[in-house]
Structure 1
Amino acid sequence: MILPIAAYGMPVLRKVAKDIDSNYPDLKKLIEDMWETLAESHGVGLAAPQVNKDIRLFLVDSALIFDNKDEDDEDGETFPDAPGVKKVFINAKIIDRKGEEWAYNEGCLSIPKIREDIFRPEEITIEYLDENFAPHTDTFNGITARIIQHEYDHIEGKLFIDYLKPLKKKLLQRKLSDISKGNISVDYKMQFPK
């Protein structure tokens, strides 16, 4: 089932999400629905707060980035993490960030039609549980590390626009206000603040 994406302004997007255990109701179905929602909206990552659930769960499919291109992007930049990953992250905790911060033009399904260059470290190490609640500690780099950091921010109640300088954010206020009022047209289901 395709779930509506929580739009900018929904309170759940600003909450620090809660850990869950394997008894979380209908978790398998929620994960299936989130994968279906991610595919329908043509995203590369989706966090539970974006489908109005305040739990520490997110999905990453960085393999989509590489499906239609070589390891080099259109600017000739090489991503060391090709071919990417498709993973579920539960109760994730980033334990280390390394490397030079690099800019990449990010967007967000909850903040449609706004894209900005955001600086993030090139490598992260993260502890998490997979969909079977098996523990993992993995290191990711490149575009995969960026997507994980973006989705991780969602479970921490943060949005990519929080990294913008105050003037830049102020210039976006009208667009952000329009999104929260539902004055936007997208090709996926959205849920707006009341």
Structure 2
Amino acid sequence: MKRTILLHPDPRLKKVCAPVTDLTDELRLLGDDMLTTMYEAPGVGLAAPQVGVLSRLIVLDCVKEEGEAPRPMIMFNPEVIASSDDLNTYEEGCLSIPEQFADVTRPAEVDVRWIDRNGKEVTDTFTKLWATCVQHEIDHLDGKLFIDYLKPLRRQMITRKMVKLKRELARG
């Protein structure tokens, strides 16, 4: 089922999410719904607070090559356990901040540990777009948006555009 994506500014996007302590069927279903929502948006990642759920859950699939098999990932309680000194800069966007993009510099490679949908602990290394995406989504779980990396003036400009967009959408 497709979920509604919250738009910035929304106080729920700035909250630190609670760890998942009990992996329920309801949470697994939420992960499936989030993948559906992300693919339809379309995007490469989505965090639970973006659909109004303040739990430590993210989904991602950074496969973009035509004809390449999708690689959907559902991660409960993801955490970066190691990151490279090497940095990468990617132009980031966010489904909660549509049509707005900015360069953000992050570690080029990260090791992430999480619980998969079967309750199994997994650790993997992410590079390139995958590394940027997983860090971006984990930031959401800590109440941080990609625009928080920008200079105040640029961040305020984007926030004003989003307030205007939300007003226009509310008018229908």
> 1:1-194, aligned counterparts within 5 Å?
1-24=1-24, 26-63=26-63, 65-67=64-66, 85-179=71-165, 181-183=166-168
User: Among the aligned pairs, what percent are the same residue?
Assistant: 38
Alpha-carbon distance in structure 1 between the residues aligned to 2:86 and 2:115: 27
RMSD between superposed Cα atoms in Å: 2.0
- Structure with a larger share of its residues in helix: 2
SS at structure 1 position matched to 2:84: strand
Shift of 1:67: 3.1
CA distance in 2, matches of 1:169, 1:99: 26
**Alignment coverage as a number of residue pairs:** 170
> Aligned with 2:22: secondary structure?
coil
Could you tell me the TM-score, scaled by structure 2's length?
0.90
TM-score (norm 1): 0.80
Structure 1 142/23 Cα, relative in aligned 2: closer, same or farther at 3 Å? closer
**How far apart, CA to CA, are the structure 2 residues paired with 1:97 and 1:165?**
24
Equivalents in 2 of 1:142, 1:119: separation in Å?
Answer: 12
- Structure 2's unaligned 5+ residue stretches are none
Give the drift of 1:12. Answer: 1.3
- Give ranges in structure 1 of 5+ residues lacking alignment: 70-82, 185-191
Shift in Å at residue 113 of structure 1?
A: 1.0
Deviation at 1:68, TM superposition (A): 6.5
Q: CA deviation at 1:25?
A: 6.0
Which piece of structure 1 moves more, 33-42 or 47-56?
33-42
Gap change, CA 1:168 and 1:138, over 3 Å in 2: same
Cα displacement (A) at 1:66: 2.5
